[in-house]
Amino acid sequence: MAPRSVRPYLLALGVLWLLPALLVLVLHLALPDHNAAGGCSGIGFGCSLPPSEAVVLLGLMAAGPLILLGLVVCVVISVVRARRDPRAAASEAPGMTDSTEADASEG
């Protein structure tokens, strides 16, 4: 039996994990690291983060839900694949054999 493809998992995790990480990196490098109005930068007392640091903060806030969503999507992919081809899933399980194979080996 041929090994199952990991392409659906790589595609899902690439979209949910790699693409946002690359987007945060590119925006952090491309956006200015100072406020345009010349105001103070930082958090608190009327100050605001520069755009490059705000992108990093938003990326960190999105990381937790994106990790959880990626894991849920991987579970859904594996469940759908197992239900679509139950014979392949049963043959991959250790100790599980088809009854016709067991009968043929006895006789």
- What is the per-residue pLDDT across 11-46, written as a single tens digit (0 to 9) for each? 999 999 999 999 999 999 999 888 877 777 677 677
27 domain-assigned: yes
76 domain-assigned: yes
Whether 1 has a pLDDT exceeding 50, the answer reads no
The backbone torsions φ and ψ at residue 94, rounded to the nearest 5 degrees and listed phi first, read -70, 140
**Which of 56, 53, 23 lies closest to 35, judged by CA?**
53
The per-residue DSSP string of 7-42 comes to: HHHHHHHIIIIIHHHHHHHHHHHHS-SS-TT---BS
Predicted confidence (pLDDT) per residue in 40-82, tens digit: 767 767 778 888 999 999 999 999 999 999 999 999 999 998 8
94 domain-assigned: no
What is the residue type of 45?
F
**Per the structure, how many domains does the chain have?**
1
Whether 100 has a pLDDT exceeding 80, the answer reads no
**Which of 83, 81, 95, 97 lies closest to 3, judged by CA?**
81
Question: Whole-model pTM above 0.75?
Answer: no
Query: Domain span at residue 23?
Result: 8-86
DSSP structure class, residue 105: H
